[in-house]
Chain A
Protein backbone atom coordinates (compact mmCIF):
# COMPACT_ATOMS: atom_id res chain seq x y z
CA UNK A 1 0.00 0.00 0.00
CA UNK A 2 1.72 3.16 -1.17
CA UNK A 3 1.41 6.29 0.95
CA UNK A 4 0.72 9.44 -1.00
CA UNK A 5 3.83 11.59 -1.03
CA UNK A 6 3.45 15.10 0.35
CA UNK A 7 6.23 17.67 0.30
CA UNK A 8 7.31 18.80 3.80
CA UNK A 9 6.23 22.37 3.09
CA UNK A 10 2.88 21.40 1.65
CA UNK A 11 -0.12 21.83 3.93
CA UNK A 12 -3.01 19.36 4.01
CA UNK A 13 -5.95 20.33 1.78
CA UNK A 14 -8.29 20.96 4.70
CA UNK A 15 -5.89 23.48 6.19
CA UNK A 16 -5.41 25.21 2.86
CA UNK A 17 -9.17 25.54 2.38
CA UNK A 18 -9.71 26.76 5.94
CA UNK A 19 -6.99 29.41 5.77
CA UNK A 20 -8.16 30.47 2.34
CA UNK A 21 -11.74 30.81 3.59
CA UNK A 22 -10.64 32.89 6.58
CA UNK A 23 -8.53 35.18 4.40
CA UNK A 24 -11.28 35.67 1.86
CA UNK A 25 -13.96 36.38 4.46
CA UNK A 26 -11.66 38.84 6.19
CA UNK A 27 -10.94 40.68 2.97
CA UNK A 28 -14.58 40.46 1.97
CA UNK A 29 -15.91 41.79 5.27
CA UNK A 30 -13.43 44.55 5.94
CA UNK A 31 -12.45 45.65 2.48
CA UNK A 32 -14.92 44.66 -0.20
CA UNK A 33 -18.13 45.15 1.76
CA UNK A 34 -17.51 48.75 2.87
CA UNK A 35 -16.39 49.63 -0.64
CA UNK A 36 -19.54 48.09 -2.10
CA UNK A 37 -21.70 49.98 0.40
CA UNK A 38 -20.11 53.27 -0.65
CA UNK A 39 -21.08 52.74 -4.25
CA UNK A 40 -24.52 51.43 -3.32
CA UNK A 41 -25.33 54.45 -1.16
CA UNK A 42 -23.95 56.85 -3.78
CA UNK A 43 -26.39 55.44 -6.32
CA UNK A 44 -29.27 55.18 -3.79
CA UNK A 45 -31.25 57.95 -5.47
CA UNK A 46 -30.29 57.08 -8.98
CA UNK A 47 -27.38 58.04 -11.17
CA UNK A 48 -28.77 61.50 -11.87
CA UNK A 49 -28.66 62.48 -8.21
CA UNK A 50 -25.13 61.13 -7.91
CA UNK A 51 -23.98 63.16 -10.88
CA UNK A 52 -25.67 66.29 -9.53
CA UNK A 53 -23.96 65.86 -6.17
CA UNK A 54 -20.57 65.54 -7.83
CA UNK A 55 -21.04 68.47 -10.20
CA UNK A 56 -22.08 70.74 -7.38
CA UNK A 57 -19.75 73.79 -7.18
CA UNK A 58 -18.40 72.91 -3.77
CA UNK A 59 -17.81 69.29 -4.72
CA UNK A 60 -15.97 70.28 -7.89
CA UNK A 61 -13.72 72.71 -6.06
CA UNK A 62 -13.00 70.06 -3.43
CA UNK A 63 -11.94 67.65 -6.16
CA UNK A 64 -9.79 70.35 -7.73
CA UNK A 65 -8.17 71.23 -4.41
CA UNK A 66 -7.41 67.61 -3.58
CA UNK A 67 -5.78 67.10 -6.96
CA UNK A 68 -3.70 70.27 -6.63
CA UNK A 69 -2.56 69.44 -3.10
CA UNK A 70 -1.58 65.90 -4.14
CA UNK A 71 -0.04 67.25 -7.33
CA UNK A 72 2.38 69.34 -5.27
CA UNK A 73 2.94 67.04 -2.32
CA UNK A 74 3.62 63.82 -4.22
CA UNK A 75 6.41 65.09 -6.54
CA UNK A 76 8.10 66.87 -3.63
CA UNK A 77 7.94 63.76 -1.47
CA UNK A 78 9.24 61.70 -4.37
CA UNK A 79 12.31 63.91 -4.66
CA UNK A 80 12.89 63.96 -0.89
CA UNK A 81 12.29 60.24 -0.62
CA UNK A 82 14.74 59.36 -3.40
CA UNK A 83 17.37 61.67 -1.92
CA UNK A 84 16.94 60.26 1.59
CA UNK A 85 16.91 56.63 0.44
CA UNK A 86 19.97 57.19 -1.76
CA UNK A 87 21.95 58.76 1.08
CA UNK A 88 20.94 56.05 3.54
CA UNK A 89 21.46 53.07 1.24
CA UNK A 90 24.66 54.10 -0.52
CA UNK A 91 26.61 55.94 2.14
CA UNK A 92 27.62 55.78 5.77
CA UNK A 93 27.52 58.99 7.75
CA UNK A 94 27.08 60.06 11.35
CA UNK A 95 23.43 60.54 12.25
CA UNK A 96 22.21 57.99 9.70
CA UNK A 97 20.15 56.04 12.22
CA UNK A 98 18.64 59.27 13.48
CA UNK A 99 17.61 60.20 9.95
CA UNK A 100 15.92 56.83 9.46
CA UNK A 101 13.98 57.29 12.70
CA UNK A 102 13.00 60.80 11.68
CA UNK A 103 11.64 59.52 8.39
CA UNK A 104 9.35 57.14 10.24
CA UNK A 105 8.04 59.90 12.48
CA UNK A 106 4.97 60.84 10.43
CA UNK A 107 3.79 57.24 10.59
CA UNK A 108 3.85 57.13 14.36
CA UNK A 109 2.34 60.56 14.94
CA UNK A 110 -1.42 60.94 14.75
CA UNK A 111 -2.41 62.98 11.69
CA UNK A 112 -4.39 65.35 13.92
CA UNK A 113 -1.26 66.04 15.94
CA UNK A 114 0.57 66.66 12.67
CA UNK A 115 -1.99 69.26 11.70
CA UNK A 116 -1.77 70.83 15.14
CA UNK A 117 2.00 71.19 14.76
CA UNK A 118 1.47 73.45 11.79
CA UNK A 119 -1.15 75.47 13.65
CA UNK A 120 1.31 75.99 16.49
CA UNK A 121 4.06 77.04 14.14
CA UNK A 122 2.21 79.08 11.52
CA UNK A 123 -0.96 80.07 13.33
CA UNK A 124 -1.75 83.66 14.38
CA UNK A 125 -0.50 82.89 17.90
CA UNK A 126 2.22 80.60 16.56
CA UNK A 127 5.99 81.03 16.28
CA UNK A 128 5.91 82.62 12.84
CA UNK A 129 2.39 84.00 13.20
CA UNK A 130 3.13 87.72 13.58
CA UNK A 131 5.86 87.59 10.92
CA UNK A 132 3.54 85.96 8.42
CA UNK A 133 0.75 88.40 9.21
CA UNK A 134 3.06 91.33 8.60
CA UNK A 135 3.98 90.00 5.19
CA UNK A 136 0.42 89.04 4.36
CA UNK A 137 1.44 85.41 3.86
CA UNK A 138 -1.30 82.90 4.55
CA UNK A 139 -0.24 79.40 5.35
CA UNK A 140 -3.05 78.16 7.55
CA UNK A 141 -6.57 78.10 6.22
CA UNK A 142 -5.11 78.25 2.70
CA UNK A 143 -3.49 76.00 0.13
CA UNK A 144 0.09 76.18 1.51
CA UNK A 145 -1.06 74.81 4.86
CA UNK A 146 -2.94 71.97 3.22
CA UNK A 147 0.04 71.10 1.06
CA UNK A 148 2.40 71.16 4.07
CA UNK A 149 0.14 68.93 6.11
CA UNK A 150 -0.17 66.50 3.19
CA UNK A 151 3.60 66.46 2.68
CA UNK A 152 4.19 65.66 6.34
CA UNK A 153 1.73 62.82 6.44
CA UNK A 154 2.78 61.15 3.19
CA UNK A 155 6.50 61.77 3.48
CA UNK A 156 7.60 58.29 4.58
CA UNK A 157 5.96 56.41 1.72
CA UNK A 158 8.59 56.87 -0.94
CA UNK A 159 11.57 56.70 1.42
CA UNK A 160 10.38 53.57 3.22
CA UNK A 161 9.75 51.73 -0.01
CA UNK A 162 13.08 52.69 -1.54
CA UNK A 163 15.42 52.27 1.45
CA UNK A 164 15.22 48.48 1.72
CA UNK A 165 15.18 48.16 -2.07
CA UNK A 166 18.29 50.25 -2.55
CA UNK A 167 20.05 48.73 0.46
CA UNK A 168 19.33 45.30 -0.91
CA UNK A 169 20.69 46.25 -4.31
CA UNK A 170 23.93 47.32 -2.69
CA UNK A 171 26.59 49.70 -3.92
CA UNK A 172 28.43 47.45 -6.36
CA UNK A 173 26.91 48.85 -9.52
CA UNK A 174 27.44 52.42 -8.37
CA UNK A 175 31.08 51.65 -7.55
CA UNK A 176 31.53 50.05 -10.95
CA UNK A 177 30.08 53.14 -12.59
CA UNK A 178 32.51 55.37 -10.70
CA UNK A 179 35.52 53.35 -11.80
CA UNK A 180 34.27 53.54 -15.37
CA UNK A 181 34.37 57.33 -15.22
CA UNK A 182 30.77 58.29 -14.48
CA UNK A 183 30.08 61.40 -12.40
CA UNK A 184 27.74 61.23 -9.42
CA UNK A 185 24.85 62.56 -11.45
CA UNK A 186 25.47 60.22 -14.37
CA UNK A 187 25.65 57.29 -11.98
CA UNK A 188 22.37 58.28 -10.39
CA UNK A 189 20.59 58.78 -13.70
CA UNK A 190 21.94 55.78 -15.60
CA UNK A 191 22.50 53.18 -12.88
CA UNK A 192 20.58 53.92 -9.68
CA UNK A 193 17.33 55.26 -11.05
CA UNK A 194 16.63 52.50 -13.60
CA UNK A 195 17.21 49.90 -10.90
CA UNK A 196 14.57 51.35 -8.61
CA UNK A 197 11.95 52.33 -11.14
CA UNK A 198 9.38 49.70 -10.18
CA UNK A 199 9.71 50.28 -6.45
CA UNK A 200 9.54 53.99 -7.13
CA UNK A 201 6.39 53.69 -9.19
CA UNK A 202 4.69 51.62 -6.53
CA UNK A 203 5.72 54.09 -3.84
CA UNK A 204 4.49 57.08 -5.85
CA UNK A 205 1.12 55.42 -6.45
CA UNK A 206 0.75 54.68 -2.74
CA UNK A 207 1.86 58.17 -1.79
CA UNK A 208 -0.66 59.66 -4.21
CA UNK A 209 -3.52 57.54 -2.92
CA UNK A 210 -2.71 58.50 0.65
CA UNK A 211 -2.34 62.19 -0.22
CA UNK A 212 -5.78 62.29 -1.79
CA UNK A 213 -7.36 60.57 1.17
CA UNK A 214 -5.74 62.48 4.02
CA UNK A 215 -8.32 63.76 6.48
CA UNK A 216 -7.02 64.39 10.01
CA UNK A 217 -4.08 66.68 9.41
CA UNK A 218 -5.77 68.62 6.61
CA UNK A 219 -8.92 68.98 8.68
CA UNK A 220 -6.98 70.83 11.37
CA UNK A 221 -5.10 73.24 9.10
CA UNK A 222 -7.70 73.96 6.48
CA UNK A 223 -10.36 75.81 8.41
CA UNK A 224 -12.89 74.17 6.08
CA UNK A 225 -13.68 77.34 4.18
CA UNK A 226 -16.38 76.27 1.77
CA UNK A 227 -15.28 76.32 -1.82
CA UNK A 228 -11.72 77.31 -0.90
CA UNK A 229 -10.00 75.04 1.54
CA UNK A 230 -12.18 71.97 1.46
CA UNK A 231 -10.55 68.83 0.08
CA UNK A 232 -12.49 65.73 -0.97
CA UNK A 233 -12.35 63.92 2.37
CA UNK A 234 -13.43 67.13 4.13
CA UNK A 235 -16.21 67.58 1.61
CA UNK A 236 -17.46 64.09 2.38
CA UNK A 237 -17.60 64.94 6.07
CA UNK A 238 -19.32 68.27 5.49
CA UNK A 239 -22.00 66.74 3.32
CA UNK A 240 -22.56 63.90 5.76
CA UNK A 241 -22.95 66.31 8.65
CA UNK A 242 -25.54 68.18 6.63
CA UNK A 243 -27.53 64.99 6.13
CA UNK A 244 -26.70 64.95 2.42
CA UNK A 245 -25.97 61.24 2.44
CA UNK A 246 -26.14 60.69 -1.28
CA UNK A 247 -23.76 63.61 -1.80
CA UNK A 248 -21.32 62.38 0.83
CA UNK A 249 -21.25 58.87 -0.58
CA UNK A 250 -20.97 60.20 -4.13
CA UNK A 251 -17.80 62.12 -3.39
CA UNK A 252 -16.59 59.15 -1.34
CA UNK A 253 -17.23 56.98 -4.37
CA UNK A 254 -14.94 59.25 -6.41
CA UNK A 255 -12.20 58.74 -3.84
CA UNK A 256 -12.82 55.02 -3.90
CA UNK A 257 -12.64 54.96 -7.67
CA UNK A 258 -9.36 56.86 -7.68
CA UNK A 259 -7.99 54.28 -5.26
CA UNK A 260 -9.19 51.39 -7.39
CA UNK A 261 -7.78 53.08 -10.48
CA UNK A 262 -4.42 53.35 -8.74
CA UNK A 263 -4.46 49.66 -7.97
CA UNK A 264 -5.56 48.72 -11.46
CA UNK A 265 -2.76 50.81 -12.95
CA UNK A 266 -0.21 49.15 -10.73
CA UNK A 267 -1.49 45.68 -11.60
CA UNK A 268 -1.52 46.48 -15.29
CA UNK A 269 2.07 47.71 -15.23
CA UNK A 270 3.20 44.71 -13.24
CA UNK A 271 1.54 42.38 -15.73
CA UNK A 272 2.92 44.21 -18.74
CA UNK A 273 6.47 44.41 -17.45
CA UNK A 274 6.61 41.13 -15.54
CA UNK A 275 9.84 40.02 -17.19
CA UNK A 276 11.70 43.23 -16.43
CA UNK A 277 10.38 43.16 -12.88
CA UNK A 278 11.66 39.64 -12.31
CA UNK A 279 15.05 40.49 -13.81
CA UNK A 280 15.49 43.52 -11.62
CA UNK A 281 14.95 41.43 -8.51
CA UNK A 282 17.51 38.88 -9.46
CA UNK A 283 21.17 39.58 -8.74
Chain B
Protein backbone atom coordinates (compact mmCIF):
# COMPACT_ATOMS: atom_id res chain seq x y z
CA UNK B 1 0.00 0.00 0.00
CA UNK B 2 2.67 2.44 -0.94
CA UNK B 3 2.34 6.08 -1.82
CA UNK B 4 2.92 6.74 -5.51
CA UNK B 5 3.14 10.31 -6.75
CA UNK B 6 3.34 10.43 -10.53
CA UNK B 7 4.37 13.54 -12.52
CA UNK B 8 2.26 16.05 -10.67
CA UNK B 9 2.17 19.51 -12.23
CA UNK B 10 0.68 22.70 -10.90
CA UNK B 11 0.81 26.27 -12.18
CA UNK B 12 -0.17 29.40 -10.30
CA UNK B 13 -1.08 31.88 -13.02
CA UNK B 14 2.08 31.50 -15.14
CA UNK B 15 4.38 30.27 -12.42
CA UNK B 16 5.08 26.52 -12.50
CA UNK B 17 5.13 25.60 -8.83
CA UNK B 18 5.27 21.89 -9.64
CA UNK B 19 6.86 20.64 -12.82
CA UNK B 20 6.38 16.90 -12.86
CA UNK B 21 7.05 15.79 -9.29
CA UNK B 22 7.29 12.03 -8.79
CA UNK B 23 7.93 9.93 -5.72
CA UNK B 24 7.33 6.45 -4.38
CA UNK B 25 7.32 5.61 -0.67
CA UNK B 26 6.35 2.48 1.22
CA UNK B 27 3.40 2.39 3.59
CA UNK B 28 4.25 3.76 7.02
CA UNK B 29 7.31 5.66 5.89
CA UNK B 30 8.30 9.06 7.21
CA UNK B 31 9.10 11.10 4.11
CA UNK B 32 10.73 14.51 4.24
CA UNK B 33 10.23 16.94 1.37
CA UNK B 34 13.41 18.99 1.57
CA UNK B 35 14.30 21.98 -0.54
CA UNK B 36 14.73 25.74 -0.75
CA UNK B 37 11.81 28.21 -0.75
CA UNK B 38 9.88 28.06 -3.98
CA UNK B 39 10.85 24.48 -4.76
CA UNK B 40 7.22 23.37 -4.62
CA UNK B 41 7.29 21.32 -1.44
CA UNK B 42 4.37 23.05 0.26
CA UNK B 43 2.37 23.01 -2.98
CA UNK B 44 2.89 19.27 -3.29
CA UNK B 45 1.88 18.77 0.32
CA UNK B 46 -1.26 20.84 -0.11
CA UNK B 47 -2.17 18.86 -3.22
CA UNK B 48 -1.79 15.67 -1.19
CA UNK B 49 -4.06 17.19 1.43
CA UNK B 50 -6.68 18.27 -1.08
CA UNK B 51 -6.19 21.98 -0.39
CA UNK B 52 -4.98 22.60 -3.95
CA UNK B 53 -5.89 20.93 -7.20
CA UNK B 54 -3.16 19.52 -9.43
CA UNK B 55 -3.24 20.52 -13.10
CA UNK B 56 -2.03 17.08 -14.17
CA UNK B 57 -0.48 13.93 -12.80
CA UNK B 58 -1.74 11.23 -10.47
CA UNK B 59 -1.37 10.03 -6.92
CA UNK B 60 -2.19 6.55 -5.71
CA UNK B 61 -2.38 5.61 -2.08
CA UNK B 62 -4.21 2.88 -0.19
CA UNK B 63 -5.55 1.62 -3.51
CA UNK B 64 -7.32 4.92 -4.09
CA UNK B 65 -7.14 7.47 -6.86
CA UNK B 66 -6.10 10.06 -4.39
CA UNK B 67 -6.55 13.20 -6.47
CA UNK B 68 -10.10 12.27 -7.44
CA UNK B 69 -11.27 12.49 -3.86
CA UNK B 70 -12.30 15.76 -2.20
CA UNK B 71 -10.24 16.80 0.81
CA UNK B 72 -12.81 15.85 3.37
CA UNK B 73 -12.95 12.25 2.25
CA UNK B 74 -9.24 11.63 2.18
CA UNK B 75 -8.63 11.31 5.93
CA UNK B 76 -5.29 13.03 5.47
CA UNK B 77 -4.48 14.78 8.73
CA UNK B 78 -2.85 18.13 8.04
CA UNK B 79 -0.65 20.04 10.47
CA UNK B 80 -0.14 23.68 9.48
CA UNK B 81 2.89 25.82 10.15
CA UNK B 82 0.74 28.40 11.94
CA UNK B 83 -1.24 25.70 13.73
CA UNK B 84 -4.65 26.81 12.34
CA UNK B 85 -6.33 25.83 15.60
CA UNK B 86 -9.99 26.80 15.96
CA UNK B 87 -9.57 29.85 18.13
CA UNK B 88 -13.04 29.89 19.64
CA UNK B 89 -12.94 26.21 20.71
CA UNK B 90 -11.17 24.67 23.67
CA UNK B 91 -8.24 22.30 23.18
CA UNK B 92 -10.59 19.37 23.74
CA UNK B 93 -13.06 20.86 21.25
CA UNK B 94 -10.33 21.21 18.66
CA UNK B 95 -9.23 17.62 19.02
CA UNK B 96 -12.78 16.29 18.99
CA UNK B 97 -13.74 18.28 15.88
CA UNK B 98 -12.79 15.66 13.30
CA UNK B 99 -14.85 13.06 15.12
CA UNK B 100 -17.83 15.34 15.66
CA UNK B 101 -18.24 16.25 12.01
CA UNK B 102 -18.40 12.66 10.87
CA UNK B 103 -21.70 11.57 9.30
CA UNK B 104 -24.09 10.15 11.83
CA UNK B 105 -23.51 6.50 11.02
CA UNK B 106 -19.75 6.84 11.42
CA UNK B 107 -19.76 9.15 14.40
CA UNK B 108 -18.72 7.62 17.74
CA UNK B 109 -20.85 8.20 20.84
CA UNK B 110 -20.12 11.30 22.87
CA UNK B 111 -18.51 9.32 25.68
CA UNK B 112 -16.30 7.53 23.19
CA UNK B 113 -15.23 10.83 21.61
CA UNK B 114 -14.36 12.15 25.03
CA UNK B 115 -12.33 9.05 25.80
CA UNK B 116 -10.35 9.39 22.59
CA UNK B 117 -9.70 13.06 23.25
CA UNK B 118 -8.35 12.17 26.70
CA UNK B 119 -6.17 9.47 25.17
CA UNK B 120 -4.74 11.87 22.61
CA UNK B 121 -4.16 14.58 25.19
CA UNK B 122 -2.07 12.09 27.11
CA UNK B 123 -0.22 11.04 23.99
CA UNK B 124 0.81 14.62 23.25
CA UNK B 125 1.56 15.27 26.91
CA UNK B 126 -1.08 17.95 27.41
CA UNK B 127 -3.16 15.96 29.87
CA UNK B 128 -4.77 18.73 31.95
CA UNK B 129 -5.06 21.39 29.30
CA UNK B 130 -8.28 20.20 27.68
CA UNK B 131 -10.32 23.15 28.83
CA UNK B 132 -7.85 25.84 27.77
CA UNK B 133 -8.21 27.94 24.69
CA UNK B 134 -5.50 28.10 22.00
CA UNK B 135 -4.71 31.71 22.86
CA UNK B 136 -3.72 30.55 26.34
CA UNK B 137 -1.10 28.09 25.10
CA UNK B 138 2.52 28.41 24.05
CA UNK B 139 3.59 27.76 20.46
CA UNK B 140 4.92 24.32 21.25
CA UNK B 141 1.73 23.37 23.05
CA UNK B 142 -0.41 24.63 20.18
CA UNK B 143 1.48 22.53 17.69
CA UNK B 144 0.98 19.48 19.85
CA UNK B 145 -2.75 20.17 19.93
CA UNK B 146 -2.68 20.51 16.14
CA UNK B 147 -1.03 17.12 15.88
CA UNK B 148 -3.49 15.51 18.29
CA UNK B 149 -6.33 17.01 16.26
CA UNK B 150 -4.94 15.52 13.06
CA UNK B 151 -4.41 12.13 14.68
CA UNK B 152 -7.94 12.06 16.10
CA UNK B 153 -9.46 11.22 12.74
CA UNK B 154 -7.31 8.06 12.49
CA UNK B 155 -5.75 9.40 9.30
CA UNK B 156 -4.50 7.33 6.42
CA UNK B 157 -1.74 9.83 5.91
CA UNK B 158 -0.21 12.59 8.01
CA UNK B 159 0.89 15.79 6.28
CA UNK B 160 3.02 18.33 8.11
CA UNK B 161 3.90 21.73 6.66
CA UNK B 162 7.06 22.97 8.39
CA UNK B 163 5.30 22.31 11.68
CA UNK B 164 8.15 23.57 13.84
CA UNK B 165 8.97 26.61 11.72
CA UNK B 166 7.38 29.08 14.10
CA UNK B 167 9.03 27.68 17.23
CA UNK B 168 12.32 28.37 18.94
CA UNK B 169 15.28 26.00 18.54
CA UNK B 170 15.04 24.23 21.87
CA UNK B 171 11.33 23.47 21.49
CA UNK B 172 11.94 22.48 17.90
CA UNK B 173 14.57 19.91 18.88
CA UNK B 174 12.34 18.43 21.57
CA UNK B 175 9.36 18.17 19.26
CA UNK B 176 11.40 16.48 16.53
CA UNK B 177 12.21 13.56 18.74
CA UNK B 178 8.71 13.45 20.05
CA UNK B 179 7.06 13.57 16.59
CA UNK B 180 9.18 10.74 15.30
CA UNK B 181 8.19 8.73 18.36
CA UNK B 182 4.50 9.46 17.76
CA UNK B 183 4.87 8.45 14.12
CA UNK B 184 6.46 5.15 15.09
CA UNK B 185 3.68 4.46 17.55
CA UNK B 186 0.86 5.35 15.14
CA UNK B 187 2.49 3.69 12.13
CA UNK B 188 0.91 6.15 9.71
CA UNK B 189 2.53 7.24 6.44
CA UNK B 190 3.79 10.78 6.98
CA UNK B 191 4.96 13.47 4.61
CA UNK B 192 6.86 16.33 6.21
CA UNK B 193 7.91 19.59 4.54
CA UNK B 194 11.02 21.35 5.74
CA UNK B 195 13.84 23.52 4.47
CA UNK B 196 16.04 22.45 7.40
CA UNK B 197 18.45 19.69 6.37
CA UNK B 198 19.34 18.68 9.89
CA UNK B 199 15.68 18.22 10.68
CA UNK B 200 15.04 16.16 7.57
CA UNK B 201 18.01 13.89 8.12
CA UNK B 202 17.29 13.41 11.77
CA UNK B 203 13.65 12.45 11.37
CA UNK B 204 13.02 10.91 7.97
CA UNK B 205 13.16 7.39 6.57
CA UNK B 206 13.21 8.88 3.09
CA UNK B 207 14.40 12.29 2.02
CA UNK B 208 13.07 13.78 -1.23
CA UNK B 209 15.18 16.72 -2.36
CA UNK B 210 13.14 19.21 -4.36
CA UNK B 211 14.16 21.98 -6.68
CA UNK B 212 12.10 24.17 -9.01
CA UNK B 213 9.02 22.00 -8.87
CA UNK B 214 10.68 18.63 -9.36
CA UNK B 215 11.92 15.96 -7.00
CA UNK B 216 15.56 15.58 -7.91
CA UNK B 217 16.38 12.62 -5.70
CA UNK B 218 14.69 10.34 -3.22
CA UNK B 219 16.57 8.08 -0.84
CA UNK B 220 17.48 7.35 2.74
CA UNK B 221 19.36 10.18 4.45
CA UNK B 222 22.65 8.27 4.16
CA UNK B 223 22.17 7.41 0.48
CA UNK B 224 21.29 10.94 -0.51
CA UNK B 225 24.28 12.36 1.33
CA UNK B 226 26.77 9.79 0.14
CA UNK B 227 25.54 9.63 -3.42
CA UNK B 228 24.03 12.90 -4.69
CA UNK B 229 22.68 12.36 -8.20
CA UNK B 230 22.55 15.92 -9.45
CA UNK B 231 24.63 19.06 -9.07
CA UNK B 232 21.83 20.78 -7.20
CA UNK B 233 21.50 17.99 -4.65
CA UNK B 234 25.20 17.89 -3.90
CA UNK B 235 25.36 21.69 -3.58
CA UNK B 236 22.24 21.93 -1.49
CA UNK B 237 23.37 19.25 0.91
CA UNK B 238 26.89 20.51 1.30
CA UNK B 239 25.70 23.95 2.29
- Whether A179 contacts B86 by the Cβ 8 Å rule is no
Nearest residue, chain B, Cβ from A194: B88
User: Does A182 make an interface contact (CB < 8 A)?
Assistant: yes
Asked if B87 and A279 sit within 8 Å, CB to CB, the answer is: yes
Within 8 A of B (CB), among A177-219: 177-183, 186, 190-191, 194-195
Give B contacts to A, CB under 8 Å. Answer: 49-51, 71-78, 80, 82, 84-89, 97-98, 101-102, 133, 135, 149-150, 152-153, 159
B101 touches A195 (CB 8 A): no
Task: Report the Cα distance A279→B149, complex, angstroms.
Answer: 20
Q: Does A11 contact B (CB under 8 A)?
A: no
CB <8 Å contact, A178 and B50: yes
Q: Render A250-262 as a binary contact track against B, CB cut-off 8 A, 1 for contact.
A: 0000000000000
Name the A residues within 8 Å of B78 (CB-CB). Answer: 175-176, 179
On chain B, the residues within 8 Å of A191 by CB distance are 86
- Contact between B101 and A175, CB atoms less than 8 A apart: no
Answer whether A182 and B84 are a contact pair too, CB < 8 Å, given A175-B78, A176-B78, A282-B135: no
**Does A172 interact with chain B (Cβ within 8 Å)?**
yes
B87 touches A182 (CB 8 A): no
Asked if B86 and A176 make an inter-chain contact with CB atoms under 8 angstroms apart, the answer reads: yes
A279 B135 Cβ-Cβ under 8 A: yes
Of the A-B pairs whose beta carbons lie under 8 Å apart in the complex, a sample of 21, sorted by A's number, is A172-B80, A173-B84, A176-B78, A176-B80, A176-B84, A176-B85, A179-B71, A179-B78, A179-B150, A180-B77, A181-B72, A181-B73, A181-B101, A182-B72, A183-B72, A190-B86, A190-B101, A195-B87, A195-B88, A279-B135, A283-B87
Q: Are B153 and A181 in contact (CB under 8 A)?
A: yes
A138 vs B51: C-alpha distance in the bound complex, in angstroms? Answer: 49
Question: Would you call B76 and A179 a contact (CB within 8 A)?
Answer: yes
**Smallest CB-CB separation from B51: which chain A residue?**
A175
Interface residues on chain A, number (Cβ under 8 Å): 21
Tell me the complex Cα distance, A160–B86, Å. 24
Contact B97 A177 (CB under 8 A): yes
Is A280's CB within 8 Å of the partner chain B?
Answer: yes
User: Could you tell me the distance in whole angstroms from the C-beta of B237 to the nearest C-beta in chain A?
Assistant: 31
Contact in complex: A178, B72 (CB < 8 Å): yes
CB distance from B46 to the nearest CB of A (A): 9
Chain B residues lying within 8 Å of A175, measured Cβ to Cβ, are 51, 78, 80, 84
Could you tell me if A181 and B87 are in contact, using CB atoms closer than 8 angstroms? no
How far is B23's CA from A113's CA once the two chains are assembled, in angstroms?
62
Shortest Cβ-Cβ A-B pairs, 3 listed? A172-B84, A180-B98, A179-B78
How far apart are the CA atoms of A63 and B128 in the complex, in Å?
55
**C-alpha spacing A36/B152, complex, angstroms:** 60
Report which of B75, B88, B152 forms a contact with A280, defined as CB distance below 8 A. Answer: B88
B101 touches A180 (CB 8 A): yes
**CA–CA, A270 to B101, complex, Å?**
31
| A window 267-283: CB within 8 A of B | 276, 279-280, 282-283
Distance between A123 CB and nearest chain B CB, rounded to angstroms:
47
Q: Judge whether B51 and A180 touch: CB under 8 Å.
A: no
The answer on a CB contact under 8 Å between A183 and B51 is no
A283–B137 CA distance with the chains assembled, in angstroms? 12
Q: Provide the residues of chain A in CB contact with B135, threshold 8 Å.
A: 279, 282
Bound form: Cα–Cα A183–B135 in Å: 26
Alpha-carbon gap, A282 to B134, bound state (A): 10
> How many Å from the CB of B162 to the closest CB on chain A?
14
